Chains A and B, each alone.
Chain A
Amino acid sequence: MGRDLDSRDLPDNARGIMTTIETGARTKFLEYVMTLGMTTMEGRGFYYPVDTAIGRDDRLYVVNRSLDIVPRGVRVTMCDIDSEYYGTFGSFGEKDGQFIWPSGGAIDSRGRVYVSDEQLHRISVFDREGAFVSRWGSHGTGEGELDTPSGIAFDNQDNLFVSDTYNHRIQKFTADGRFLLSFGSQGHGDGELNLPWGVTLDANNNVYVANWGNDCILKFSPQGEYLASYGTSGSGDGEFQRPSSVAVDGEGYIYVADWGNERVQVLDPEGGFAMKLRGQATLSKWAENFLSVNVEEGAARARANLELEIDYSVIHPHEESSHIEKFFWSPVSVKLDRAGTLYVTESNRHRIQVYKRIAS
């Protein structure tokens, strides 16, 4: 802990332990269901998706970051678990309803869609069908001002918690952007934040933060008092590398996108390690369609061995994920729907892997 994130990086091979491939579950209660999406620059599909918000009707709103040279890839894609496609909204730019660096998504009790923007330092609001409603937020370090807002989540009173990344704090606003509360400060110590990313709330409105730069999950009370920290730096069970997102289910199980380790971990309500997932993507409906149109590509793919044993020159989960397509690659967001089904959005694979609880 405590390495200087902005200027120092570990040598390529210093992290040592490769993530094991099997789930290694102590309590296996998640099973793979399916994969959604595929990469497309526009329209039906995802392009470097960075978050998925799930509506009350279980519609998925996938926030696409795209890349800076492809502005038309910036959009929110609407679809559902049956791979039905409902269109996109939002585009690249600074006008109302546009984004530069869209980051997090959340949905209020009325079904409105909120999207944060790390470049414009604001929150944009859309209705259920993607029509622009309003926007708020301004750049700065003062109370209620934002520097690079990333993860966002609502409590059950329709107040929005914003991960205010470069101010190293969490801020709480009303749905229309009135400042209510700010907590957390920069540091490497207990309860301190370092470039926080994902944020979520449990049934009691406790706030969980993916404390990205400090490799842990922090838990705060609804009033912002520091309550607990889960995990330390590392690649072992219950250890994290740059966690990007966190979700908590009705029983208090904590799901963590362990981004730097390219995996998802589940902690039990006491914070103990419960299980981990490395990813087991299969072809989505859209992907199958692509391969059926591009026949020779489908045929060559069928002949290829995509799960080779590889003698890596650089030992790192990121490296492994770049080679083995089914593994999570940049699992950036974990979200639960009302039934407790888990959606893992992977920015580098442009898809969502879906896992469901096994009835216990």
Chain B
Amino acid sequence: MGNSDVELIAHLMRRAGFGATRDQLDFYAAQGYEATAEELLNPVDERRMGDDLIRRFHPELSGMMGPNASGENWLFRMATTTTPLQEKMSLFWHGIFATGYPKVIHGKALSDQIRMFRRHGMGSFRTLLVELSKDPAMIIWLDNQDNHKGAINENYGRELLELFSMGVGNYTEQDIKECARSFTGWTIANREYMELRSQRDSDWPYGRIAWHFEYHPEDHDDGEKEFLGQRGCFNGEDVIDIICQQQATARFISRHMYSFFVANEPPVPEWPDTPPLDEQAIQQLSQAYLDSGYDITAMLRVLFNADFFKSRSSWYTKVKSPVELVAGVLRLTGEFDRPRREILDRQLQAVYMGQFLNNPPSVEGWHEGTDWLDTGSLVERVNFATQQMGDANKPGVQAMISNVAANAVGPISPERLVGECLDQMGAMSVSEDSRRVLIDFASMGGDVALGAGNSDEQSRRQIGAVLQMVASTQEFQRS
């Protein structure tokens, strides 16, 4: 198996997951790129740190009264799962259907929404939209509990069209009203008490009470509606059927997917006036959406096997989001082999870098790409990556150092040392500039002599220092 194949699979794992260790890459490389992509697309044998174990040592991660618990729980999962695309897709949908804590004030409801993404996020887009419309956190987030027969609240109806499916310019204000009418009566149970508890941030007396969807037929406007040119006594499901048929929806979702997995598109508000980076790619993905009956996995299959994704020119073009960076580091360090208090700090690190899971800045989600980067956030990102990768007590770091040491006997040159370290960090490739700086840095310690008795400790330190420096490269900030 050539190294270029390993590098390609490393690219796949960075984009479709949260990166992979060199050992994992060897495993994937043995089965080949296409089989690896298929394995990601068909998450069956999920293995990760079990919920029971998490709940036992972190009761808050099942009680979820505070704003961090749902994110911590999710981060545990991202850091340990064997089905990373499932988590990546949940993150993808979370970025689009961005629902946030400050209005919902209910960690379990937000966590349940992510769980819903996990179950439906790789299936039919129609099912996903129906589940989204019934999702209690979404209902409260966009005020659908205030959307009544005869007194509509347009918030959900508008965002469903503008931000969740079609994008502006593809419907009228009247369509928004008709859409909102179709979702009247879609509310949550015990709405008054639950809403009041949220508004008062009340977990008294006995902690949060989970929410669930309730349909109130008497509050549903079942009169005739005209929506996107079709007429009928539509309910929410009917409206979603019509939305899913639209070419605009196909393109909107395709463009999001391209932006998330291939290369950052400009922010959504600019889409109507800015052509996609790769029109052909959007057409390919849209076709897959329509041909498959709105199947997300079918779209992803096309994407991962397309040249526009696999091409070397698309590698390292994206800025890792804070959560991708943190989860990626945690998978390399192997820190969470059991529940540990440090999960809170790791969650907060992503917050310091500007991404608070289940607490996006608004319903428009996070601004991705270079918007992640400013002086403050870069300091946090570099410090976190170098601190973690520089900690030789972490099992994953230990293993990397040992692997570098084991791959050579006798002295190895700085060039070779840098090459080995890049390889251990997940078959990384870096620019010539970065490589030169790394080699200069590695040269400061002279050749590393391996297997030479008492110099072992010194060699391990030298290897560790280079690994840490690799973590400070621009490439490590990118995916």
Contact = CB atoms under 8 A, between A and B. Distances in A.
The short answer to whether A and B are in direct contact, CB under 8 Å, is yes
Interface of A: 4-9, 11-12, 38-39, 48, 50, 65, 67-70, 100-101, 118-119, 166, 195, 197, 212, 242, 244, 259-260, 281, 283-284, 286-287, 290-291, 294, 296-297, 300-301, 303-306, 308, 310-314, 318-319, 322-323, 325, 329-330, 332, 347-351
B65 interface: yes
17 contacts: A7-B82, A38-B205, A39-B65, A39-B205, A67-B66, A67-B69, A68-B58, A69-B68, A69-B344, A212-B56, A294-B200, A296-B196, A300-B192, A304-B192, A308-B212, A330-B62, A332-B59
B197 interface: yes
Contacts of A319: 210
Q: Which of B65, B197, B205 has the most CB of A within 10 A?
A: B205
Interface of B: 46-53, 55-60, 62-63, 65-66, 68-69, 80, 82, 108, 115-116, 119, 189-190, 192-194, 196-197, 200, 202-210, 212, 337-338, 341, 344
Contacts of A290: 204-205
Nearest to B342: A68
Among A284, A322, A323: residue with most chain B CB under 10 A: A322
Contact of B59 (A11, A284, A348): A348
A304 B66 contact: no
Given A12-B115, A67-B69, A7 B80 contact: yes
B207 A348 contact: yes
Given A39-B203, A296-B196, A306 B50 contact: no
A314 B193 CA distance: 23
Interface residues of A, dominant DSSP? loop
Nearest to A38: B205
Contact of B48 (A7, A286, A306): A7
Contact of B205 (A50, A197, A283): A283
Contacts of A166: 338
A269 to B, nearest CB: 29
Nearest to A301: B193
B207 A349 contact: yes
Given A67-B69, A197-B56, A297-B200, A9 B63 contact: no
A241 B213 CA distance: 29
Contacts, number: 145
A301 B208 CA distance: 13
Given A7-B47, A48-B63, A304 B204 contact: no
A286 B47 CA distance: 43
Contacts of A303: 192-193
B75 to A, nearest CB: 13
Contacts of A325: 206, 209
A351 B206 contact: yes
Most A-side CB within 10 Å, residue of B60, B206, B209: B206
Given A287-B204, A310-B212, A119 B50 contact: no
A325 B48 CA distance: 29
Contacts of A281: 206
A330 B115 contact: no
A155 to B, nearest CB: 26
Given A296-B196, A297-B202, A5 B58 contact: no
Given A39-B207, A48-B63, A7 B344 contact: no
A285 B468 CA distance: 56
Contacts of B48: 7-9
Contacts of A9: 46, 48, 50-52
Contacts of B115: 12, 314
A5 B53 contact: yes
Contacts of B57: 101, 118
The 5 A-B residue pairs whose C-beta atoms are closest, nearest first, are: A287-B205, A67-B60, A322-B210, A304-B193, A38-B205
B189 A330 contact: no
Contacts of A332: 59
A309 B65 CA distance: 24
Contacts of A212: 56
B353 to A, nearest CB: 17
Contacts of B47: 4, 7-8
Contacts of B58: 67-68
Nearest to A326: B206
A297 B196 contact: yes
A5 B337 contact: no
B7 to A, nearest CB: 28
Contacts of A347: 59, 63
Contact of A304 (B190, B203, B207): B190
Contacts of A308: 189-190, 212
Contacts of A306: 190, 209
A38 B206 contact: yes
Contacts of A12: 115, 119
A314 B204 CA distance: 25
A18 to B, nearest CB: 15
Nearest to B343: A68
B65 A300 contact: no
Contacts of B202: 294, 297
A68 B344 contact: yes
B272 to A, nearest CB: 36
Given A7-B47, A7-B49, A304-B192, A39 B341 contact: no
A194 to B, nearest CB: 11
Contacts of B337: 6
Contacts of B56: 195, 197, 212, 242, 244, 259
A48 B207 CA distance: 9
A4 B338 CA distance: 13
Given A300-B193, A305-B190, A260 B52 contact: yes
B66 A69 contact: yes
Contacts of B69: 67
Contact of A100 (B66, B212, B341): B341
Given A9-B50, A11-B46, 19 more contacts: A4-B47, A6-B338, A8-B46, A39-B65, A67-B59, A67-B69, A100-B341, A195-B56, A244-B56, A290-B205, A294-B204, A300-B192, A304-B192, A306-B209, A308-B190, A310-B212, A322-B108, A351-B205, A351-B206
A118 B339 CA distance: 11
Nearest to A8: B47
Contacts of B63: 48, 329-330, 347-348
Nearest to B341: A68
Contacts of B338: 6, 166
Nearest to A11: B46
A337 to B, nearest CB: 23
A305 B188 CA distance: 12
Contacts of B60: 48, 67-68
A8 B206 contact: no
Nearest to B204: A290
Nearest to A13: B119
A240 to B, nearest CB: 12
Given A5-B50, A69-B66, A101-B57, A322 B209 contact: yes
